[in-house]
Amino acid sequence: MSASESIAQGMNPAQREAVLYLDGPCLVLAGAGSGKTRVITQKIAYLLRECGYMGRNVVALTFTNKAAREMDERVKTLVDRKLSKGLIISTFHSLGVKMLREEARNAGLKPTFSILDADDAMSIIQELLATTDKGRLRHVQGIISLWKNALMEPDDAAREAITPGDVEAANIYRSYAATLAAYQAVDFDDLIRIPALLLSSNEEVRTRWQNRVRYLLVDEYQDTNVCQYRLVQLLTGSRAMFTAVGDDDQAIYAWRGATIENLAKLTTDYPSIKLIKLEQNYRSVQRILAAANQVIEKNPKLFEKKLWSDLGVGEPILVSAMDGEEQEAESIAMKVSASRFERQAQWKDFAILYRSNHQSRILEQALRNLKIPYTISGGQSFFDKAEVRDVLAYLRLLANDDDDPAFIRAATTPKRGIGQTTLQALGQYAASREISLLAAVAETGLESQLAPRQLDPLRTFAEFIRRMQWRAGRGAASGKDAAPAEPAGVILDDLVEAIQYERHLFELFEERPAQTRWQNVLELTGWLKRKAEEDNMTLFDLVQHVALVTMLERGEEDEPDAVKMSTLHASKGLEYPHVYLAGVEEGLLPHLGKDDEDGDPARAAENLATRIQEERRLMYVGITRAQRSLNLSWCKRRRRAREDLVREPSRFIEEMGLGDVRVQEDEATAAMNPKERMAMLKALLKK
DNA sequence: CAGCTATTCGTTTTT
DNA sequence: CGAATAGCTG
């Protein structure tokens, strides 16, 4: 057996071809469950083990940290440590940070630039827009993000803006960009945009990176936006040594700028590209796959492909019409419980999927009532929690004086006598002198602007920050005489202690919530300390690293035996033996927001069609998560805000073509009162 | 300035 | 129904 054969053993011909093809660019159209991760990991192994590629010359990009980590782990089992040294498997955003950190000077940033999260960005836009209209704010933030992802500068945006609203948004975009520059900060979109711009404008940088990235692999290619496509192009250059893996039927991120056209564009930009289709599904039973295929058939297709499976027919797919959302939740919880018992399965074999986050609350409650262990993925990230952001604000400020949003957050939490009016005066002064808030505090000119009782807390705060910066070795970083940098862990502990954050939490919240919040803080500092030691990172390295990491990346904690709850978006790439899809209703699963404001009916109709197609793909993703059994449910009535709404089953249920079993009234459970239900469940569990 | 109460308000999906 | 915000009092 030759070496290359040994790498690709146990793979089907298409998979093997995808792994071994190295004559040029390669596009792998990988249907759901067709083993695309396997192809990518095997290909990395092949490159490193058989083709003499050095670890540092291979880059694999994903969209989520979780996917990156998973891939990394799988590669580690295939390839010797020595060979994979320097190998980059990361998200687009992490690669962007890495590039930005190494090329900060070329990008006009200081090495300790800050990364703003969506909330910080939103407050900046709010200031610039001078409005409290939430809808308007979201719209403007969204459109700026889309512009950035389409590689449009403020000038381009202004030129293309038609409505007065868009013209205003373009102006905000301009000042927003200026504000970020003043803060020495970048937002999430910039993490990819700026490296792409840098590569295209600076030949020296471009050559350096092209020499470094000898082979590039991109996962979930259908979710790339214009900016990411550009980055891929610039990194691979004319050599074009890359493999893109994607599935147009699973494109569910158009709303954040992803364009499926990128898949088609690949075949026109690289006419010689090798097209390989992965059509055998190794995940789902035939009935499930058939339903998925029937649904997605209603969408216009970019590439013809037919998924098939030889895993047997499987059980019927069940659809339940429920009266209301609490019945639905209860019914799902009971079915999961009963099914686990009947099948002698584990909790972690079950997943409950839903369209939007707020559905999770009631489901959670139902699971708790039946003492069913669960974990939620998607939803609020660990790093979005207020207490975590509070502590991180201090770290950001330590690293970057110019990070005004961090200054404001740190200076006001915990409360230390610095309030709105003080900050406003300080802000005005800083703006007139064109310096950061932190720098402004030290100026003597400020004394005429503020009363001592306002000034004192500011000075105390700034001194505290300066002292911490010094201890963290800031002097050395900025080239001044060296301060002995203390370990990041020690500084971190001292800082949290010094601001009396624990006391702050217990004053602000009840005993129990305060405790969980404090636990979160301890978890954060613990994680940071570990990271600092393991990877020998300074406090400043940590701050930038942390900005991108989601809770899914922390710790190697092995998965507990628990039911998974997840949004459909967050479920992509995962698989479960038994899947429950909740809220499969018109208005929820095809979630169709309000109609477009601008009055062109033709465009509005087209828009609607596009949106339904994306919702359909979402449904497709949901169905194809299931390996063996699939349960759908919808509510005839759903309470929203004040009113009760009558709901219709989702059109996608019809489209699945389930025939007679299509709608099963769930009389058995719906007719019972809660007491009876509990009794029935207990009897079931006793058996 | 900070903490409390009254009122408004709203609802997709996330790196 | 529940959470974020505005407005008032100590």
Would you state the structure tokens that stand for residue A91, as one six-digit string? 């998200």
Residue in this structure with the two tokens 């190794």, named with its chain if needed: A282
pLDDT digits over A493-505, tens only?
899 999 888 888 8
Query: Percentage of chain A surpassing pLDDT 90?
Result: 41
What is the rounded average pLDDT of the residues A607-635?
Answer: 92
pLDDT at A667: 43
DSSP 8-class letter at A315: P
For residue A322, pLDDT over 50 is answered with yes
- pLDDT computed for residue A183 by the predictor: 84
CB of A624 closer than 8 Å to CB of A32: yes
Residue entry with tokens 């019914």? A331
Single-letter code of the amino acid located at A231: L
- Separation in Å: B2 C1' and A318 CA: 55
The mean-pLDDT minimum among A106-110, A160-164, A488-492, A591-595 falls in A591-595
Query: In which band, very low, low, confident or very high, does the pLDDT at A278 lie, cut at 50, 70 and 90?
Result: very high
A558 vs A594, residue with greater confidence: A594
Write down the pLDDT at residue A666.
47
| pLDDT tens profile A237-260 | 999 999 999 999 999 999 888 988
Mean pLDDT, residues A534-550 taken together: 74
A133 pLDDT band, cuts 50/70/90, is confident
**What is the Cα–Cα distance from A381 to A378, expressed in whole angstroms?**
7
In this predicted structure, the answer to whether residue A554 has a pLDDT above a threshold of 50 is no
pLDDT band at A475 (very low <50, low <70, confident <90, very high): low
The pLDDT, as a whole number, for residue A683 is 54
Q: Which of residues 132-161 of A touch strand B (CB under 7 A)?
A: 134-135
* Cα–Cα distance measured from residue A527 to residue A72, given in angstroms and rounded to the nearest whole number: 20
Lowest mean pLDDT, pick from A101-105, A267-271, A476-480: A476-480
Helix axes A452-471 and A404-412, enclosed angle (nearest 10)? 110
pLDDT of A674 strictly over 70? no
Q: How confident is the model at residue A627 (pLDDT cuts 50, 70, 90)?
A: very high
Bridge partners, A580 (sequence order):
A352, A631
A572 touches strand B (CB under 7 A): no
For chain A, give the number of residues.
687
User: Which residues of A spanning 126-145 put their CB closer than 7 angstroms to strand C?
Assistant: 132
Q: Which CATH superfamily is domain A3-104+202-280 in?
A: P-loop containing nucleotide triphosphate hydrolases (3.40.50.300)
If one compares A326 and A191, the residue with the highest pLDDT of the two is A191
pLDDT tops 70 at residue A671: no
Measured between alpha carbons, how far is A592 from A643 in angstroms, rounded to an integer? Answer: 19
pLDDT band at A20 (very low <50, low <70, confident <90, very high): very high
pLDDT of residue A6: 63
Confidence of residue A518 (pLDDT cuts 50, 70, 90): confident
Q: How far is the CA of A148 from the C1' of C7 (A)?
A: 38
Give the separation between CA A280 and CA A13, rounded to whole angstroms: 11
Per-residue 3-state assignment (H helix, E strand, C coil) for A97-161: HHHHHHCCHHHCCCCCCEECCHHHHHHHHHHHHCCCCHHHHHHHHHHHHHHHHCCCCHHHHHHHC
A31 in a known ligand binding site: yes
Q: Which residue has the higher pLDDT, A92 or A602?
A: A92
Find the Å distance, CA of residue A670 to C1' of nucleotide B14: 35
Q: Is a pLDDT exceeding 80 seen at residue A325?
A: yes
For the segment A80-85, the average pLDDT, to the nearest whole number, is 88
Nucleotide nearest to A191 (CA to C1'): B15
pLDDT attached to residue A1: 45
Residue range A290-315: average pLDDT?
90
**pLDDT for the residue A679:** 57
Higher pLDDT, A238 or A486: A238
Residue A646 has pLDDT above 60, yes or no: yes
Per-domain residue ranges of chain A: 3-104+202-280, 114-183, 290-380+559-686, 384-549
Task: Read off the pLDDT band of A609 (50, 70, 90).
Answer: confident
Average pLDDT over residues A83-90: 91
Same fold, A3-104+202-280 and A290-380+559-686: yes
Instruction: Report pLDDT for A617.
Output: 94
- Distance in angstroms: CA A641, C1' B9: 10
pLDDT at A676 over 60: no
Most confident of A111-125, A470-484, A539-553: A111-125
Q: State the average pLDDT over residues A620-630.
A: 95
pLDDT value of residue A488: 78
> Mean pLDDT across chain A, nearest whole number?
85
A543 CA to B9 C1' in angstroms comes to 35
Architecture label for domain A290-380+559-686: 3-Layer(aba) Sandwich (3.40)
**Strand C: positions under 7 A of a protein C-beta atom:** 1, 5-6
Cα separation of A103 and A112, whole Å?
12
Residue A686: predicted pLDDT:
46
The answer to whether the C-beta of A687 is closer than 7 A to strand C is no
Task: Give me the sheet containing A563-567, strands edge to edge.
Answer: A374-377, A563-567, A350-354, A576-581, A626-635, A318-322, A664-665
Per-residue pLDDT, averaged over A216-224, amounts to 95
In this predicted structure, what is the pLDDT of residue A675? Answer: 52
Per-residue pLDDT tens digits for A22-64? 999 999 999 999 999 999 999 999 999 999 999 999 999 998 8
pLDDT class of A661 with cuts at 50, 70, 90: very low
Q: A369-413, pLDDT tens digit by residue?
A: 898 999 887 656 677 778 888 888 898 899 888 888 889 889 888
* Residues of A recognised as catalytic: 36-37, 219-220, 250, 625
Q: Is the CB of A567 under 7 A from strand B?
A: yes
Q: Where are the beta strands (DSSP E) in A545-613?
A: 563-567, 576-581
CATH number of A384-549: 1.10.486.10
pLDDT band at A341 (very low <50, low <70, confident <90, very high): very high
Whether A642 sits with its Cβ under 7 A from any strand C atom: the answer reads: yes
A482 in a labelled binding site:
no
Q: C-alpha distances in angstroms, A131 versus A66, A117, A135, A409, A592?
A: 37, 20, 10, 21, 27
Q: Which nucleotide is nearest to A641 (CA to C1')?
A: C1
Amino acid A583: pLDDT: 92
Cα angle A399, A402, A407 (rounded to 5 degrees) comes to 80
Check residue A600 and give its pLDDT. Answer: 65
Contact between residue A250 and residue A95 where contact means Cβ atoms under 8 Å apart: no
Contact flag, residue A638 CB and nucleic strand B, below 7 A: no
A356 touches strand B (CB under 7 A): yes
pLDDT, position A21: 94
**Stronger pLDDT, A549 or A386, i.e. the higher one:** A386
In this structure, which CATH number among 3.40.462.40, 3.40.50.850, 1.10.10.160, 3.40.50.2300 belongs to the domain A114-183?
Answer: 1.10.10.160
Report the pLDDT value the prediction gives residue A224, as an integer from 0 to 100.
Answer: 94
Number of H helices, E strands in chain A: 31, 17
